């Protein structure tokens, strides 16, 4: 994230780098104000046969079973140290149903530098029902998500290259299309090929 901050500044974006214990609360309250949101964290998705999310004991079991937005999400800064406050039922995690209720219509691009953020239940009338659907419900027009687990080092290079193309004037789709040309010179496709753009 530190490597991306000067890129945003050079492109004329006022930017805020959020990390540490305040990240969870700030994220829930102020996503609406950003035109580009980049989240470098850990994504998760559980299908109905894989068990249950880490916070499942505090939620309705039928809702978890029937609604994928309860079984996908992002791990935030408090995930390793969950608190026992009953009012914060998903402390340390951002389940899919939360961004679905967030105003993201002013966000031009939401990039998830995280593993498996494109996974979800496959439904005939909805396609993949998971975190990407939640973010689309929230209003984000362009989502950069991943299909599988991605390595940290290659992902950092991938994101830097993607933003280089984006800030040079390419659309998110064109930037994503151009990025593999550079990545393929050094990294295997399995290191960067997980990323797709949902529009």
pLDDT in tens, 118-138: 777 787 776 777 788 888 888
Of the listed ranges 2-6, 30-34, 96-100, the least confidently predicted one is: 30-34
Spatial separation of the C-alpha atoms in residues 13 and 107, rounded to whole Å: 13
Residue 178 has a pLDDT of 94
Count other C-beta atoms under 10 Å from residue 130's C-beta. Answer: 26
Give residue 86's pLDDT band: very low, low, confident or very high (50, 70, 90).
very low
CA distances from 35 to 21, 51, 70, 141 (A): 23, 36, 26, 11
Residue 29 has a pLDDT of 57
> When comparing pLDDT for 33 and 27, which is higher?
33
Residue 81 has a pLDDT of 62
pTM for this entry: 0.81
Residue 172 has a pLDDT of 94
Spatial separation of the C-alpha atoms in residues 192 and 26, rounded to whole Å: 29
């Amino acid at each position: 994230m530190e490597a991306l901050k000067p890129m945003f500044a050079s492109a004329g974006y006022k930017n805020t780098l959020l990390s540490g214990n305040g990240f969870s609360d700030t994220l829930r309250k102020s996503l609406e104000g950003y035109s580009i949101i980049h989240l470098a964290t850990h994504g998760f998705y559980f299908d109905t046969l894989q068990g249950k999310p880490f916070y499942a004991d505090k939620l309705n079991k039928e809702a978890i079973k029937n609604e994928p937005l309860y079984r996908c999400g992002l791990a935030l800064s408090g995930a390793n140290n969950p608190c026992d406050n009953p009012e914060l039922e998903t402390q340390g995690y951002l389940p899919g149903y939360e961004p679905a209720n967030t105003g993201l219509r002013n966000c031009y691009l939401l990039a998830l530098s995280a593993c498996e953020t494109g996974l979800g239940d496959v439904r005939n009338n909805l396609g993949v029902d998971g975190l990407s659907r939640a973010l689309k419900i929230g209003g984000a027009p362009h989502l950069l998500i991943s299909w599988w687990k991605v390595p940290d080092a290659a992902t950092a290079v991938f994101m830097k290259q993607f933003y280089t193309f984006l800030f040079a004037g390419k659309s998110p789709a064109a930037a994503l299309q151009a990025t593999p040309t550079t990545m393929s010179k050094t990294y295997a496709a399995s290191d960067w090929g997980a990323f797709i753009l949902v529009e």
